[in-house]
């Protein structure tokens, strides 16, 4: 029976990890559909930024209530999962609390895990209340429809169940040790672990036989580890991918001043040539980016293939927290734009393209694109390019860069700017100013009475 349990455990572990690796490989393949961008400069500054923002959660705690609760849930959840290492070894070899030989340090560790489990439980209850009972705008905005809303709740329920199973498993284990049950009780007579929280559950187990306690302990143990394997694979379909991706995402985020735009080299060269008095006006124009390699030139972005790999990584990392939208002046004044939706739409389109590749072996044109089919023109023209979304994002995402790339596409590829902007640009071209007056009339105001 024991050997059968070990075989089933090893199979479950292999399947769970196998599916996880397959999904991560698909995600990396999807991210690589974007244009390459070099963000490997200044590694020292990048590591410091990652330590401060991703590990230190510096931006999260700017909002103290949600920030501190998030830190507790995050740290607690990660640390408690260290115990998974022991569970895996016990599962493979059929041992009981293999690390218990460490004695006192082990007892402190298990005791600390229990306290953290309780704090995580309280934390996710607070999050659930904030999300479902309190009337917080960013949790009920128009892009938080069925799946994003459910996804956020599912993970809270999931963490509640995992923490409860952990404590029930420990309580039954503790009782079995107290009963000196074979396999559970240590030969030294000491208790393996300390149970400052789960010991409060002992009255609920009072009077149960050892065989019933073993069923409770084993059921909680199996559900706990299978739940963790399920959670690992659920991540790929959830906004909770940020648990893993926040770190590389912050590392590869922009470290130059945020308001500094990425220029298009070909355009920069054109402008430099125009401004240079020594330029040969009859020289052949510079080739736009991409043509040198035989690729069709394209300015800006209309689909995910035109975005860079960091922007696509951003879309997988978005936590859908809405802090960007909360700070967005366009959204706050009732415009259609929500930077969170820009990131969610980008990920949805990327996932759609990924599914297309999974099905066909390569991307087969589906007649859709990110612009218009997901993100509307009204949204991108509502942006003031104020950078508040970039500043507010707790995981270093840059929604504005996607908006700017789409504007570039519309202006430079389609000449499809909004009428007001086109008029202003025509006036700048013809009159040297955005107003419809001849340059000769500029000083008329000074002569009028």
Chain residues in the site for ligand SF4 (CB under 6 A): 318-324, 327-330, 337, 339-340, 343, 383-389, 392-393, 395, 397, 399-400, 403
In the bound complex, what is the minimum distance in angstroms from residue 258's beta carbon to ligand SF4? 10
In the bound complex, what is the minimum distance in angstroms from residue 320's beta carbon to ligand SF4? 5
Cβ-based nearer residue to ligand SF4, 310 or 328: 328
Cβ-based nearer residue to ligand SF4, 87 or 324: 324
Cβ-based nearer residue to ligand SF4, 320 or 345: 320
In the bound complex, what is the minimum distance in angstroms from residue 389's beta carbon to ligand SF4? 3
β-bridge partners, 375: 371
β-bridge partners, 371: 375
In the bound complex, what is the minimum distance in angstroms from residue 338's beta carbon to ligand SF4? 8
Cβ-based nearer residue to ligand SF4, 384 or 430: 384
In the bound complex, what is the minimum distance in angstroms from residue 260's beta carbon to ligand SF4? 14
In the bound complex, what is the minimum distance in angstroms from residue 364's beta carbon to ligand SF4? 30
Whether residue 119 contacts residue 72, with contact meaning beta carbons closer than 8 Å, is answered with yes
Cβ-based nearer residue to ligand SF4, 76 or 396: 396
2-31 and 210-234 are packed helices; what angle lies between their axes, rounded to 10 degrees?
10
Task: Give the whole-angstrom CA distance, residue 238 versus residue 320.
Answer: 10
Cβ-based nearer residue to ligand SF4, 57 or 327: 327
In the bound complex, what is the minimum distance in angstroms from residue 132's beta carbon to ligand SF4? 18
Task: Give the whole-angstrom CA distance, residue 177 versus residue 180.
Answer: 5
Task: Give the whole-angstrom CA distance, residue 377 versus residue 224.
Answer: 47
Cβ-based nearer residue to ligand SF4, 146 or 211: 146
Other Cβ atoms within 10 Å of 298 Cβ, number: 19
């Amino acid at each position: 029976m024991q050997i059968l349990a070990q075989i089933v455990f090893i199979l479950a572990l292999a399947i769970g990890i196998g599916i996880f690796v397959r999904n991560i490989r698909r995600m990396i393949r999807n991210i690589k559909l974007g244009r390459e961008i070099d963000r490997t400069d200044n590694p020292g500054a990048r590591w410091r930024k990652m330590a401060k923002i991703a590990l230190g959660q510096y931006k999260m705690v700017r909002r103290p209530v949600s920030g501190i609760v998030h830190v507790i849930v995050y740290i607690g959840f990660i640390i408690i999962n260290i115990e998974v290492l022991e569970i895996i070894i016990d599962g493979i070899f059929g041992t009981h609390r293999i690390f218990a030989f460490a004695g006192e340090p082990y007892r402190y560790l298990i005791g600390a895990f229990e306290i953290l489990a309780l704090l995580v439980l309280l934390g996710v209850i607070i999050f659930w209340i904030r999300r479902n009972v309190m009337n917080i705008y960013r949790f009920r905005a128009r892009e938080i429809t069925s799946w994003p809303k459910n996804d956020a709740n599912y993970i809270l329920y999931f963490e509640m169940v995992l923490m409860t199973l952990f404590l029930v498993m420990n309580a039954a284990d503790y009782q079995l040790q107290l009963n000196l049950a074979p396999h559970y009780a240590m030969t030294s007579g000491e208790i393996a672990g300390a149970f400052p929280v789960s010991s409060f559950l002992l009255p609920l187990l009072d009077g149960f036989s050892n065989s019933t306690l073993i069923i409770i302990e084993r059921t909680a143990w199996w559900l706990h580890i299978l739940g963790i394997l399920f959670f690992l694979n659920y991540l790929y379909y959830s906004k909770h991918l940020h648990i893993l991706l926040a770190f590389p995402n912050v590392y590869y985020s922009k470290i130059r001043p945020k308001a500094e735009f990425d220029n298009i080299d070909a355009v920069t060269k054109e402008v430099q040539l125009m401004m240079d008095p020594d330029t040969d006006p009859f020289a052949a124009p510079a080739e736009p980016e991409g043509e040198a390699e035989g690729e069709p030139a394209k300015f800006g972005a209309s689909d995910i293939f035109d975005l860079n790999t960091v922007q696509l990584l951003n879309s997988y990392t978005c936590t859908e927290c809405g802090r960007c939208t909360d700070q967005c002046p366009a959204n706050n004044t009732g415009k259609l734009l929500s930077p969170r939706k820009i990131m969610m739409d980008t990920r949805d389109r990327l996932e759609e393209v990924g599914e297309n590749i999974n099905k066909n072996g390569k991307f087969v044109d589906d007649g859709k694109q990110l612009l218009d089919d997901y993100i509307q023109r009204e949204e991108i023209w509502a942006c003031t390019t104020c950078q508040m979304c970039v500043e507010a994002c707790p995981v270093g995402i840059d929604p504005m860069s996607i908006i700017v790339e789409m504007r570039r596409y519309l202006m430079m590829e389609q000449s499809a700017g909004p009428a007001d902007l086109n008029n202003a640009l025509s006036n700048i071209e013809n009159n040297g100013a955005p107003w419809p007056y001849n340059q000769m009339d500029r000083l008329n105001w000074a002569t009028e009475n």
